[in-house]
Amino acid sequence: AQSVSQHNHHVILSEAASLELGCNYSYGGTVNLFWYVQYPGQHLQLLLKYFSGDPLVKGIKGFEAEFIKSKFSFNLRKPSVQWSDTAEYFCAVNAYNTDKLIFGTGTRLQVFP
């Protein structure tokens, strides 16, 4: 069965600091990978996705993620965070040829001015 792990449960940063959030999944086959963001009081929104091709994908708001197949990882990065990035970040995995999207436990990011 698929599972997704996010090791950072709560991250606190100052503005302009760099961000990296870890995501690992367990599934031996081909996967589609996603990062979603949930701002306080809002619905889940897609930050970026990886289906195939260049393992370094760029998303909205300056976020990027790198798929490393050998490590079963899809870490999210941003060179310089802003206060407005304060939110909950979820990694999600879809095993190819299935309909299911499975989420990690999420990482709460707090950015202080």
Which residues are CB-neighbours of 61 under 8 A, at least 6 positions away? Answer: 47, 78, 85
Q: Compute the residue count for the chain.
A: 113
Determine the 3-state secondary structure of 60 from DSSP: helix
Stretch that binds another protein, among 14-22, 31-39, 60-68, 79-87 (CB under 8 A): 31-39
Q: Which of 26, 45, 84, 110 binds another protein (CB under 8 A)?
A: 45
Q: Check binding of 61 to another protein (CB under 8 A).
A: no
Stretch that binds another protein, among 19-27, 56-64, 69-77, 92-100 (CB under 8 A): 92-100
Stretch that binds another protein, among 18-26, 53-61, 78-86, 101-109 (CB under 8 A): 101-109
d(CA 17, CA 64): 15
Determine the 3-state secondary structure of 19 from DSSP: strand
Helix (H) or strand (E) holding 76: strand 73-78
Summarize as ranges the residues that interact with another protein (CB under 8 A): 32, 34, 36, 42-46, 49, 51, 88, 90, 92, 94, 96-106, 108
